[in-house]
């Protein structure tokens, strides 16, 4: 657990991801691992279901909570999502 999680959580009393996710209109990637015990996949799936489009979900078998991006499939999903959803600027002349 993060050392300051509990004291700082009192500073944001209206932190309600499930209640607020529908208000976020930008593309969203929900990345979870099957072995995440901090934010279990079922929680991520509920958040994904409550979100509005555009949205994507990627579930990878291992990586836990902190090391999720050490999984090559998770890293590939993130990079693909960023590539498809990043603003592309025209190349300078």
Residue 65: per-residue pLDDT: 85
Give φ, ψ of 43 to 5 degrees: -70, -45
pLDDT tens-digit profile of 29-74? 999 999 999 999 999 999 999 999 999 999 999 888 888 888 899 9
Q: Which one is predicted more confidently, 87 or 58? A: 58
Domain assignment present for 12:
no
Domain assignment present for 4:
no
The pTM for the full model equals 0.76
Residue 54: per-residue pLDDT: 96
Please list, in sequence order, all residues whose beta carbon lies within 8 angstroms of the beta carbon of residue 36, skipping any fewer than 6 positions away: 44, 63, 64, 65, 68
Residue 10's pLDDT band, with cuts at 50, 70 and 90, is: low
Nearest to 85 by CA among 56, 51, 44, 59: 56
The domain of 78 spans 24-85
Domain assignment present for 62:
yes
Total of domains in the chain: 1
Residue 15: per-residue pLDDT: 73
CB atoms within 10 A of CB 65: 13
DSSP strands (E only) in 3-90: 28-33, 55-60
């Amino acid at each position: 657990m993060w050392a300051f999680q509990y004291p700082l959580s009192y500073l944001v009393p209206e932190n309600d991801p499930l209640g607020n996710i529908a208000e976020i209109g930008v593309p969203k990637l929900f990345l979870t691992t099957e072995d995440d015990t901090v934010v279990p996949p079922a929680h991520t799936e509920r958040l994904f279901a409550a979100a509005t489009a555009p949205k994507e979900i990627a579930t990878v078998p291992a990586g836990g909570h902190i090391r999720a991006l050490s999984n090559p499939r998770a890293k590939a999903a993130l990079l693909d999502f960023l590539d498809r959803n990043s603003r592309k600027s025209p190349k300078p002349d």
